[in-house]
Amino acid sequence: MPGYAYTDKQIQGWPTAAAAAALWERCHYLETQADYWKRRCESAEARMLAHDCMEES
């Protein structure tokens, strides 16, 4: 996560609006990372399936 990551314990003591903003940023970051890795996996799978190689016996 870019910048400093606050722990759940730290966020618990914050005002509601500040805690909500920090949690939203964390969620947005994690969604972005999940989308990135999903695309990487799908791309790798497509390349693997497109590569027509025969196993030598």
Q: Does position 1 have pLDDT exceeding 80, yes or no?
A: no
C-alpha span between 15 and 44 (Å, rounded): 44
Contact 9, 22 (CB under 8 A): no
Triad 34, 39, 41: Cα angle to 5°: 95
C-alpha span between 5 and 27 (Å, rounded): 12
Check: pTM over 0.75? Answer yes or no.
Answer: no
Kindly report, residue by residue over 3-43, the tens digit of the pLDDT: 788 999 999 999 999 999 999 999 999 999 999 999 999 99
Count of residues in the chain: 57
Kindly report, residue by residue over 33-57, the tens digit of the pLDDT: 999 999 999 999 898 888 866 566 5
Tokens of 31: 């969604």
